[in-house]
Amino acid sequence: MVKAVVLGAAGGIGQPLSLLLKINPKVTELALYDIVATPGVAADLSHIATPAKVKGYLPKDEDALKKTLSGADIVVIPAGVPRKPGINAGICKGLAEGIAEHCPKAFVLVISNPVNSTVPIFAEVLKKAGVFDPKRLFGVTTLDVVRASTFVAEILDDLSLAPTVTVPVVGGHSGVTILPLLSQSEPPLPSSVSEKDIEELTKRIQFGGDEVVKAKDGAGSATLSMAQAGYQFANLIIEAIKGKKGIITPSYVNLAADAAGGEAIKKELGAEVEYFSSRVELGPNGVERILPLGNINEYEKGLVKAALPELTTNITNGVSFIAAPKL
Ligand X SMILES: NC(=O)c1ccc[n+]([C@@H]2O[C@H](COP(=O)([O-])OP(=O)(O)OC[C@H]3O[C@@H](n4cnc5c(N)ncnc54)[C@H](O)[C@@H]3O)[C@@H](O)[C@H]2O)c1
Ligand Y SMILES: O=C(O)C[C@H](O)C(=O)O
What are the residue numbers of the active site? 173
The DSSP element (H or E) to which 55 belongs, if any, is strand 53-57
Contact 57, 36 (CB under 8 A): no
Using CB under 6 A, which of 53, 83, 244, 305 touches ligand Y?
Answer: 83
Site for ligand X in 116-175 (CB under 6 A): 140, 143, 173
Site for ligand X in 225-244 (CB under 6 A): 226
> Is 220 labelled as part of a ligand binding site?
no
Distances from the Cα of 130 to the Cα of 103, 105, 123, 127, 276, angstroms: 13, 12, 10, 5, 22
Contact 69, 103 (CB under 8 A): yes
In angstroms, the CA 155 to CA 157 distance is: 5
Using CB under 6 A, which of 39, 104, 175, 220 touches ligand X?
Answer: 220
222 forms part of the interface with ligand Y (CB under 6 A): yes
User: Residue 82: phi, psi to the nearest 5?
Assistant: -60, 130
Using CB under 6 A, which of 24, 112, 251, 254 touches ligand X?
Answer: 112
Contact 24, 30 (CB under 8 A): no
Residue 10 CA, chain-centre distance (Å), reads 18
- Residue 315 is given by DSSP the state H
Show the DSSP H helices in 113-255 as ranges. Answer: 115-128, 142-155, 195-206, 208-216, 224-241
177 forms part of the interface with ligand X (CB under 6 A): no
Distances from the Cα of 49 to the Cα of 34, 45, 231, angstroms: 24, 9, 19
84 forms part of the interface with ligand Y (CB under 6 A): no
User: Residue 28: phi, psi to the nearest 5?
Assistant: -105, -20
264 binds, among ligand X, ligand Y, none (CB under 5 to 8 A by kind): none
112 binds, among ligand X, ligand Y, none (CB under 5 to 8 A by kind): ligand X
Window contacting ligand X (CB under 6 A); options: 46-54, 216-224, 256-264, 298-306: 216-224
> Is 98 labelled as part of a ligand binding site?
no
Window contacting ligand X (CB under 6 A); options: 8-16, 179-187, 271-279, 290-298: 8-16
Using CB under 6 A, which of 32, 212, 255, 257 touches ligand Y?
Answer: 212
81 forms part of the interface with ligand X (CB under 6 A): yes
- The strand pairing partners of 110, in sequence order, are 77, 139
- Give the residue from 284, 134, 22 showing the smallest Cα distance to 31: 22
> Is 264 labelled as part of a ligand binding site?
no
146 forms part of the interface with ligand Y (CB under 6 A): no
Binding residues for NAD(+): 8-14, 34, 88, 111-113, 226
**Residue ranges that bind ligand X, judged by CB under 6 A:** 7-8, 10-14, 33-36, 78-83, 88, 91, 94-95, 111-113, 115, 140, 143, 173, 220-223, 226
Binding residues: 8-14, 34, 88, 111-113, 226
**Residue ranges that bind ligand Y, judged by CB under 6 A:** 82-83, 113, 143, 208-209, 212-213, 221-222
